[in-house]
Amino acid sequence: MIPVIALVGRPNVGKSTLFNCLTRSRDALVADYAGLTRDRKYGEGELLGRKFMVIDTGGISGEEEGIDSVMAGQSLQAIEEADAVMFLVDCKAGLTPADEMIANHLRMRSKPTFVVANKVDGTNPDIALAPFYEMGMGEIFPTTATHRKGVRSLMEIVLERF
């Protein structure tokens, strides 16, 4: 089985950076999976001898208000299509109301969810991660997607589930 992993989170947290990191290419875009819309980018990755698919949910403007903007249709669709969800938050921005709305949505789903605290670079991880633990969504995985840091440990845990 090739697990499908959806990357969700509010704009600017680093979803596309992590997508590129996991697929190792800016062009690892698979445009024509039958029946799937193009607002979502599908890429193939391989790590630790395992293949997987990643869905990047781009194109959320962030200009609308409330759950509709952060959980725009394509993100909801990606969550439905996925076997696991990586929920990205931003250590530099801290916990935001939009993060909490996404967390609430994910809690209602039974999908395995991994909270990824990106942009941990230049922070004290103990302090930066603490507010995210308050969401009560289990372990938080710190990453610096721009430097591929933490990604391997994260994927070890994710792939263990499949």
Query: Which residue ranges make up the annotated binding site?
Result: 9-16, 56-60, 118-121
Q: What is the DSSP string of 23-47?
A: HTSTT------TT--TTEEEEEEEE
Q: Own/partner pairs for 30-34, CB < 8 Å, 24+ apart? A: none
Q: Does 12 bind ligand GDP (CB under 6 A)?
A: yes
Q: How far apart are CA 142 and CA 157, in angstroms?
A: 13
Side chain identity, residue 38: R
Q: Does 144 bind ligand GDP (CB under 6 A)?
A: yes
* Smallest distance from ligand GDP to CB 17, Å: 3
Binding mask 31-70 for ligand GDP (x = CB under 6 A): ---------------------------x------------
Query: Which chain residues interact with ligand GDP by CB under 6 A?
Result: 9, 11-17, 58, 118-119, 121, 144-146
